[in-house]
Structure 1
């Protein structure tokens, strides 16, 4: 299926394992305040009133070795291939991808009394999960990302997976409920770009030099016809959905900082022009007249198998929702942050220890982490931060990024898996406008003196549970 995951190339142009920027948690950066909505991003008497990335996107870039899809197919056929599987994988492994790019974010300081902040953001996100068997699927990642995007065509027999890409337009608001306790929320409108999902419950394939035998049972869903995905499909306000993030943080008298979030709890409804399909095929034999066109014949045959039983109808999918917990305490220039995260709709979870060393406006963070896929990673980040400017550069996996860069410079792609992974993220933001001064020092202050009896937003909500004074 030549364009089955083409949307990924258009949206993220990258590939990486599941990762969050843990080094940015509890930094009070603009990114931190949007990802963890109870967090402050303004400093009284120092910060200016408006904060934005000014169209400089927070980017998570990754590398992947290049190659030829046709050549990989030809090698597969010429070498012959035989594999049978029913049910679960013998030696299961998972590839996860979670790209989150903020194209635009704007935040403003609203009221001094409750340190109220509100903001707007536009994100583009992509989520992928591919399950495969390490014993029999070394060909999963043949040569290129373009080929990775065609797994259902080349290695449909060994892999289950799904991809979802969408726009996220959000409004966020936070305030101090008490001096030590803060609350925040992020409400989002979602607009789906592309979705594809494929699950093979039973498969058997034998590829000879002149024929192929297939026995396969599978189901799939996709939101666009194979040959009808165009750039206009990436435009927003189609395939609508909604999501909400709720966050809180609390600082104890001894200085221990605790933060908790339920993030992106939501769904997308893919329109009535979407497709669902299933097939159960036994002993389907394809004859090859010559090996020159063998790979084209195989590709065409698999495409035909997948389109024999199609229904055109809408469907609903959840997005990658998760719960986060952070506990931290500052010891002079060092701030260790223990972070736990767990996906709500699948088994994935991760623990990370983000330790930041700060000196003036400069800081460096080291982030070892371990996840439920039994992968250990070590990330690092450097940052320059003032009350009105922030610039950071980091990676979620130092070792893999170094290896990927070395392979690319030497033009020697990994011969066993056919792909190299590397992660690099970068971001920058500015603050402009009036300085948000403390009332005792102020020459001008937004939201001060307008209404002395004004209640906080969350205070008004929780006030319905309080007894009224007689």
Structure 2
């Protein structure tokens, strides 16, 4: 059922862009792909190639605000639907955002010392969703008796749900324009996996006087990239092409301030001609409502029927969740080998109303990084979290969360409503290999014209000849 699928997407879809703030100005391979102007190599320290060796760099995040927090928590933890905190007749909204980013493949090469040029290839899978569901919608799924009041209960079920998933294959280029300014570019091909959007503009629900049936009215629009059964091969997304571009600038000022600006993932997906759009408006009778106080199945069946009228199949375009980021930071060396780098970051979504400000502090002691952060978004939700990372010139491993307290509340059983509830976690690894990047004046060896590169040595080892 479409409506059920939408609810499942919005409330549980966190399959794997979560660490969007923790990695700013860390110089990790992930940072270099997400923020194109950021370099991943340090001459005279790093080796020439950086690779994640197919270790997935994963992140998932979700955040929920509203009275439904206890209901969702109870349903997930206890398989019991608790509607005690939901209000009726006020149209209070429950807002939820989910996002995920899985880098399956990351490979970057340092090209030459002149300009600090870097080239990269990456493959990732992203998912993003957002929506607003009223308290009354969740009450209706619990029991029709919540609306056995002789009224039409108009426009109390006006919900919005949207989610999509896609593959992203990218080429990146980073170069220093001069000694203090760097430019980065990321060009991406997209393959759409899944798209679902439900927008209910007008609604009503009324129970007949004899309490034997009810009338559900819905008016709005429903879109999906598939008609009928979603097949396994659809997960490849070959029928739904798209493109995106990201670029960034980074400038080091004389006073030590580091400025960074990024336009990320400005792009669209074309969903193929088999995609379906329904402009629905109608009423559905729900019979035998007295048979059970739990009428979620009947309501969802009626909703599915109503949203399947006045349909047409045609291609359409949707934007992906592009963003503009601005960041300012400065590094302070407190004692030898120990430094503090505070970062102030503002991120604005281009096609949605998302706006987040964050303060990120990197504490570094030799190869150990500890990051603490706090953020605040347009839903008036505060978040705090941290990251623990080991980062040497040629190896990096990190793990962390950007929603420490929301995640703790989500993991424990509670019937209370907080400002927000959610869950966030990320993990990643990469390493560098190949020859050392050395300035000629610092070179540890003198090239004699006979030294072979990394791939030449590998080829020789695999296919070397034996002589007797």
Q: Report the TM-score when normalising by structure 1.
A: 0.79
Is the alpha carbon distance of 1:346 and 1:13 closer, same or farther for their aligned partners in structure 2, counting shifts above 3 Å?
A: closer
Q: 2:178 maps to what in 1? A: 178
CA contact (8 A) 1:267 1:317 kept: yes
Q: 1:252 maps to what in 2? A: 253
How far apart, CA to CA, are the structure 2 residues paired with 1:308 and 1:82? 31
Aligned pairs for 1:256-295 within 5 A: 256-282=257-283, 284-288=284-288, 291=291, 295=296
Is the alpha carbon distance of 1:204 and 1:198 closer, same or farther for their aligned partners in structure 2, counting shifts above 3 Å?
A: same
The CA deviation at 1:328 is 0.6
Q: 1:365 maps to what in 2? A: 371
Q: After alignment, is 285-294 or 197-206 more displaced?
A: 285-294
Q: 1:466 maps to what in 2? A: none
Q: 1:339 maps to what in 2? A: 345
Q: 1:21 maps to what in 2? A: 20
Whether 1:391 and 2:397 are equivalent positions in the alignment is yes
Q: 2:41 maps to what in 1? A: 42
SS at match of 2:332: coil
Q: Structure 1, residues 39-88: CA drift from partner, whole Å, max 9, x if none?
A: 1101112211111111111112469858489x879x99xx9x9977xxxx
Which of the numbers 382, 389, 392 marks the counterpart of 1:376?
Answer: 382
Is the alpha carbon distance of 1:321 and 1:62 closer, same or farther for their aligned partners in structure 2, counting shifts above 3 Å?
A: closer
Q: Structure 1, residues 203-234: CA drift from partner, whole Å, max 9, x if none?
A: 11135763221122111111012x41122111
Q: 2:466 maps to what in 1? A: none
How far apart, CA to CA, are the structure 1 residues paired with 2:180 and 2:400? 31
Aligned pairs for 1:114-263 within 5 A: 114-133=115-134, 136=136, 139=139, 157-206=157-206, 210-225=212-227, 227-263=228-264
Task: Quote the RMSD (CA, aligned, Å).
Answer: 3.3
Q: Any stretches of 5+ residues in structure 1 without a counterpart?
A: 143-154, 446-470
Is the alpha carbon distance of 1:50 and 1:104 closer, same or farther for their aligned partners in structure 2, counting shifts above 3 Å?
A: same
Is the alpha carbon distance of 1:370 and 1:172 closer, same or farther for their aligned partners in structure 2, counting shifts above 3 Å?
A: same
The CA deviation at 1:420 is 6.1
Q: After alignment, is 228-237 or 121-130 more displaced?
A: 228-237
How far apart, CA to CA, are the structure 2 residues paired with 1:288 and 1:140? 15
The CA deviation at 1:6 is 9.8
SS at match of 1:245: strand
Is the alpha carbon distance of 1:362 and 1:137 closer, same or farther for their aligned partners in structure 2, counting shifts above 3 Å?
A: farther
The CA deviation at 1:401 is 1.5
SS at match of 1:304: helix
How far apart, CA to CA, are the structure 1 residues paired with 2:255 and 2:244? 35
Q: 2:428 maps to what in 1? A: 427
CA contact (8 A) 2:22 2:371 kept: yes
SS at match of 2:33: helix
The CA deviation at 1:24 is 0.6
Q: After alignment, is 254-263 or 210-219 more displaced?
A: 210-219
Is the alpha carbon distance of 1:60 and 1:15 closer, same or farther for their aligned partners in structure 2, counting shifts above 3 Å?
A: same
How far apart, CA to CA, are the structure 1 residues paired with 2:423 and 2:185? 33
Is the alpha carbon distance of 1:300 and 1:182 closer, same or farther for their aligned partners in structure 2, counting shifts above 3 Å?
A: same
SS at match of 1:56: coil
The CA deviation at 1:159 is 1.4
How far apart, CA to CA, are the structure 2 residues paired with 1:224 and 1:415? 39
How far apart, CA to CA, are the structure 2 residues paired with 1:47 and 1:118? 15
Is the alpha carbon distance of 1:22 and 1:321 closer, same or farther for their aligned partners in structure 2, counting shifts above 3 Å?
A: same
The CA deviation at 1:21 is 2.8
Is the alpha carbon distance of 1:93 and 1:82 closer, same or farther for their aligned partners in structure 2, counting shifts above 3 Å?
A: closer
The CA deviation at 1:156 is 9.8
How far apart, CA to CA, are the structure 1 residues paired with 2:139 and 2:231? 29
The CA deviation at 1:256 is 0.9
SS at match of 2:364: strand
Q: After alignment, is 307-316 or 54-63 more displaced?
A: 54-63
How far apart, CA to CA, are the structure 2 residues paired with 1:59 and 1:141? 34
Q: 2:355 maps to what in 1? A: 349
How far apart, CA to CA, are the structure 2 residues paired with 1:140 and 1:184? 50
The CA deviation at 1:395 is 0.5
CA contact (8 A) 2:119 2:174 kept: yes
CA contact (8 A) 1:62 1:422 kept: yes
CA contact (8 A) 2:6 2:162 kept: no
Q: After alignment, is 347-356 or 207-216 more displaced?
A: 207-216
Is the alpha carbon distance of 1:375 and 1:290 closer, same or farther for their aligned partners in structure 2, counting shifts above 3 Å?
A: closer
Q: Report the TM-score when normalising by structure 2.
A: 0.80
How far apart, CA to CA, are the structure 2 residues paired with 1:337 and 1:123? 26
CA contact (8 A) 1:388 1:431 kept: yes
The CA deviation at 1:161 is 1.8
CA contact (8 A) 2:158 2:199 kept: no
How far apart, CA to CA, are the structure 1 residues paired with 2:8 and 2:379? 26
Is the alpha carbon distance of 1:389 and 1:13 closer, same or farther for their aligned partners in structure 2, counting shifts above 3 Å?
A: farther
CA contact (8 A) 2:285 2:302 kept: no
CA contact (8 A) 1:161 1:197 kept: yes
